[in-house]
Amino acid sequence: MAINLDDPKKFRPLAGQAHQVAMNMLRPISRKYDRAEHEYPKELDMLAAMIDGLSESGAAEGAGAAGVRRDERPKDEGAAKNGANLASVMSIAEMCWGDVGLLLSMPRQGLGNSAIASVADDEQLERFGGLWASMAITEPGTGSDSANIKTTASLDGDEYVLNGEKIYVTSGDRSDAVVVWASLDRSLGRAAIKSFVVPKGTPGMRVDRLEHKLGIRASDTATIIFEDCRVPKENLLGSPDVDPKQGFAGAMATFDNTRPLVASMAVGCAKAALDLTRELLERAGVEIDYDRPALTQSAAAAKFLQMEADWEAARLLMLQAAWMADNRKPNSLEASMAKAKAGRVGSDITLSCVELAGSVGYAEGELLEKWARDSKILDIFEGTQQIQQLIVARRVLGLTSAELK
């Protein structure tokens, strides 16, 4: 099969619209909400309404949070499909060219929405369709090891009773509901981990505090406590059956979708830094010549060319992982590769751009220092750089998590 590395024509208008939104709506308020940490960006309400309208009209496939649903097959088995996952990573990259924290604050575009789209059955998809859902996985002492979750969910009649503490929940205070990872039976290990939709206002769930952060300060990051919190058993996403052979593949399927999305955030933020740095270098008289070897040019130009090459590699891995999801191909390896590459490259590029721009890069007169702060989290959440490399090694070597820790 031939590979065409151009952006799909049908998504170019969507990406163009996202870029215009990033430039005209997000960039102008970027510094304002970086300084006003935890203040809700009210300008996003109008933007969310626009996205809802596009999604409902069918004019913008991928304008909303998409999911990886393995049980669905393409209508034409022999045809390659460019679908909602590819559209999402392309549009999110453009939005993050504007501001990562504001993108993460978008109503009804939370990581929990991707979890619902990936794991929920058809009835749940319809019932939770209009919610803004955040996702609660990380716990004190349980960061990268998602299989070691201590939050429990015990069936009591027609309800599950949740107990535990979740930290670093993006949009945890603002969202309408939280998708909570909890264990049905801790003695059964990872196979018993399921995800539950807990609407805000449910007795027994409370937001304990909001975190002060290095970057993505426009986005609220919450600690949430669950104490005898009761949710209907119908709010368990997907199947309640515990299958030791399956592991917690249902819950982990969420990551096959969200890791390319996080990669796209890093790609977009890094592109913003590259674009501005090129402009600043040219203004300073540094010529970047694509027709000459990097070694024959100035150190600044050579560094810039190397960063662009790294950026392009991250972008292509991101597109590959999303395309595979659209075509219902197993993409866990590629999703982790994209997340690992883009997360590391994003941090390297934004910090290097600060360095190349000198005092201009370090000061608040430009957004370069902010992008350097924002990009670091993209190498950490949804699985750290080290965890992604571990997952890639397991997949390549054909080893289980017990065999390669």
List, by residue number, the catalytic residues. Answer: 382
Strands 205-210 and 133-136: unpaired
Query: For residues 38 and 29, what is the distance between their CA atoms, to the nearest angstrom?
Result: 14
Quick one: DSSP state of residue 291? T
Residues ≥6 apart with Cβ < 8 Å to 77:
none
Query: For residues 276 and 343, what is the distance between their CA atoms, to the nearest angstrom?
Result: 20
Query: Which has the closest alpha carbon to 333: 346, 321, 344?
Result: 321
Query: For residues 349 and 363, what is the distance between their CA atoms, to the nearest angstrom?
Result: 17
Residue burial 300-314, b: 16+ Cβ < 10 Å; e: rest = bbebbbebbebbeeb
Query: Which has the closest alpha carbon to 273: 303, 241, 240, 243?
Result: 303
β-partners of residue 352 are none
Task: Return the structure tokens found at 57.
Answer: 């009209």
Task: Return the structure tokens found at 366.
Answer: 């430009």
The SS3 of residue 198 is strand
Measuring CA to CA, how many Å separate 58 from each of 16, 80, 84, 87, 254? 17, 20, 11, 13, 24
Structural contact between residues 316 and 338, judged by C-beta atoms closer than 8 angstroms: no
